[in-house]
Amino acid sequence: MIEKHRKTPIFPFTAIVGQEEMKLALQLNVIDPKIGGVMIMGDRGTGKSTTIRAIADLLPEIEVIKDDPFNSQPLKTDKKETEFIKIPMIDLPLGATEDRVCGTIDIEKALTMGIKAFEPGLLAKANRGILYVDEVNLLDDHLVDILLDSAASGWNTVEREGISIRHPAQFVLVGSGNPEEGELRPQLLDRFGMHAEIRTVKDPSLRVKIVEERTLFDINPEAWIEKYKDEQENLKKTIINAQTLLNTINLSYEDRIKIAQVCSELNVDGLRGDIVINRAAKAYTAFQGKTTVSTSDIEKVVVLCLRHRLRKDPLESIDSGYKVRKVFEEVFLS
């Protein structure tokens, strides 16, 4: 008899070699989803999809109302049956239509039976989880706008023929792409909380290690998952502890002024950069089990939060990350 719903083995997050910037950005976003998601840009075959699936598999299960299409969190007053499920990890395919993403209303049932029959879309399935868009730079701008609006507001509204349905859509938006295949429009890129850049590993010994780890996992995934069980459990506990600590973290007024000064000197449009650095620095502090943000904590996240918000001069060859680091050092360390 074929086993029903057989679980596909997921490569352990703690077994992933290198790509520290991408791993940190993902961890901080699951600690504080209000950071606003992460855009991962880099070469093909660098483990983007593997890492994103691994972080989702690592996270603790969530309690939901049984058979609820939106993975709704039960209230204390609820008498409904509940169950625990893995954090949803939803892939959005490039060819997806707006109906597939947002959901659709059955107009016929609404008109003939007076019932608001709603067919949930990917945004409903991703509620309280992670929504992953590979090659987001090739996705229709209209759909990217919808995703970013839902991620920012936490709600999805579907309107058709005068009928409107609104449901929660709180998720961590993760986009990835290869810059050689086209850049995301600056006004859309700016809406992502963080921007991680990844490159193909050049060190031969590290390349060999990555290939060996993957080969051994493919030969015997169960044994490999067991090998990293303790490390996975420790990281899971660290993330849960950080989520608990988050609201107690102290970021001094002096440091908040300096963060604002960095953004101002870099001519960052709007205040989104300031807000994201504040949130990310607190999340990183909580991740370390501390309660007070230090200069080194801010330094760890500032490039991830700002590199994609700088106005680009096509004639300039200086890396945006270098510019952010230089201004940070002038403001914080001089």
Q: What is the DSSP letter of 330?
A: I
- Identity of residue 245: L
Whether 311 is a known active-site residue: answer no
Query: Rounded to an integer, what distance in angstroms lies between the CA atom of residue 210 and that of residue 219?
Result: 14
Nearest to 39 by CA among 309, 323, 332: 309
Question: Which DSSP letter does residue 284 get?
Answer: H
Alpha-carbon distance of 129 to 149, in angstroms, equals: 16
| 24-41 exposure pattern, b = at least 16 Cβ within 10 A, e = fewer | bbbbbbbbbbbbbbbbbb
CB-neighbour burial class of residue 82 (10 A; exposed 0-12, middle 13-18, buried 19+)? middle
Q: Which of 53, 128, 272, 279 is catalytic?
A: 272
Count of CB atoms situated within 10 Å of the CB of 57: 19
Cα distances from 118 to residues 15, 105, 110, 157, 158, in angstroms, run 41, 5, 10, 11, 9
Q: How many residues does the chain have?
A: 334
d(CA 33, CA 170): 8
Q: Which of 208, 204, 207, 194 is nearest to 278 (CA)?
A: 194
Secondary element (H or E) of residue 321: helix 320-328
Question: What amino acid positions are annotated as catalytic residues?
Answer: 272
